[in-house]
Each structure stands twice: as structure tokens, then as C-alpha cells.
Amino acid sequence: MSAILLGTLVLAIQLPDAVYIGIDSKVIAVGAEVVNVLPIPKIHQVIDVVFAHAGIFKDSQGKLDVEGIARASIVAGGNLEMVVDRFATADEPQLSAALTDIREQNPLYFKEKMKRPLEVLFAYARAGTPQVIVVFFEVMDPSASKLSFRITRLRCPGDCPKADGSWIALGEHDAADRFLDAHPEVLRTRGPIAAIEEAVAHQASATPDFVSLPTVVVRVDGVGVHFIK
């Protein structure tokens, strides 16, 4: 029996000169049962690109390696659209194989949690302008013998509001969204790091089985990539 690892929350706040990306520390393994495992990095830097993932990202049988696919896609070069194109094409068959295992081993978890099994955020700040693309994989037909996906993207700038402080949330994020909606003053007066940390803390309190502290925060700007905490 294989175990599939899942990450649970990514939260990004985009400002005109930088994007701040935060992740929680929870990693769970899904097989016949769902169990906590030791934290594993869910945010990574390759050259000048940062990527972070929520959802299933690795399995014990070598069928799925989201980090490896993303690294190879970035190293191959090109702009962020090209990177995401490569990633989506290479990841889809691996994701299908790993998700089929979850459906067989834990059909209830598959039904309740795996409608959107993987979300990955890519970011860089070439020429001083921060750019983000999130790619979402959504299961087309959960009962199909071979699982396939509707793959969509969110681009910032482009799809995000133009006002300062747009945020993007991946994974388990309902409570984080409610906090940011209700308390815009945290971002305005204390800044994006505090806003991310407090939003993640609220999500961890609301859904402790899926989100936990501490929070890791990375800033991507025209100077480079900065792992803040």
C-alpha cells in the first residue's frame, strides 16, 4: 500500500513591488488512514522562481514528485507561462496515478477532499515586477477508470484586483479568507507578514487536523528571493 503526502495551506499577498508567500507546517499522509507526518518543505526556490504547493505532492511508490517536476520545468528556462505549461503537462499523468491510489485505498477521503487535489503557485519578479501564476487541477470525472483534470490558471497581475494587497489562497483557507476580509487593517497597519501569520493562525485554530503553525514566509521582489521566517 502506498502513502501519498499532502500539504495544506498556501497564502500569498501581492503588492506593487513584491509578493509575500506564506505556508503552514502541516503535512499529512493518506493511505487507508490519514496520519500526520513530520514537516516537509512545501515552498522552494529554483534560480529566481519560487513555487509552493497545496494538495498531494509525493507518494511512497515514486509515481508522483511535484517538486521534481517543478524544478525541471523551471531549469528548462523561459518565462513563467512556459514554466507552468511544462509543469502542467508533465504533472497530469503522475497526479492521475497517485490520485487513483487514494481513490482505491481511502474512497471517503477521495470523495470529500480530492475534488481539487493539487494547487501550485509559481512566482518571480523579473525586471522588478512581481508575477504570480497559480495552476489548479480539478478532477473531471471522479468515477472514470483513468482520472483526468480540468487545468486552470490564475495570473497576478491580470486576474487579481488591481488594489494593493490582493491575496491568493490555496488549499484549506476558508478561515484565513474570513480573517483577511474582516480585518483589512492588519495588512494596512502591520504589513503583509503579520497579515499572513495571523490568517494562517486563524485557519490552524479552525481546522487543526489540516493546518498547523509555524508559518514560513518568503518575499519575492526585484532584488531577489528572501526567506524571512
Give the pLDDT score at 158: 84
19-72 pLDDT per residue, tens: 999 999 999 999 889 999 888 899 999 999 999 999 999 998 899 999 999 999
Tell me how many domains the chain contains: 1
Give the pLDDT score at 118: 97
List the domain range (segments joined by +) for residue 105. 4-227
111-169 pLDDT per residue, tens: 999 999 999 999 999 988 899 999 999 999 999 999 999 999 999 988 887 656 789 99
The enclosing domain of 13 has a CATH number of: 3.60.20.10
Give the pLDDT score at 162: 63
Asked if 73 and 87 count as a contact pair (C-beta separation under 8 A), the reply is yes
67-98 pLDDT per residue, tens: 999 999 999 999 999 999 999 999 999 999 99
Three-class SS state of 179: helix
Asked if 200 and 176 count as a contact pair (C-beta separation under 8 A), the reply is yes
The pTM of the whole model exceeds 0.85: yes
Asked if 211 and 54 count as a contact pair (C-beta separation under 8 A), the reply is no
| Residue owning grid cell 494596512 | 188
Cell matching residue 162: 488591481
Which residues touch 14 (CB under 8 Å, ≥6 apart)? 20, 130, 132, 156, 157, 160, 165, 166, 167, 168
**Residue 89 C-beta-side C-alpha neighbours within 13 Å:** 8
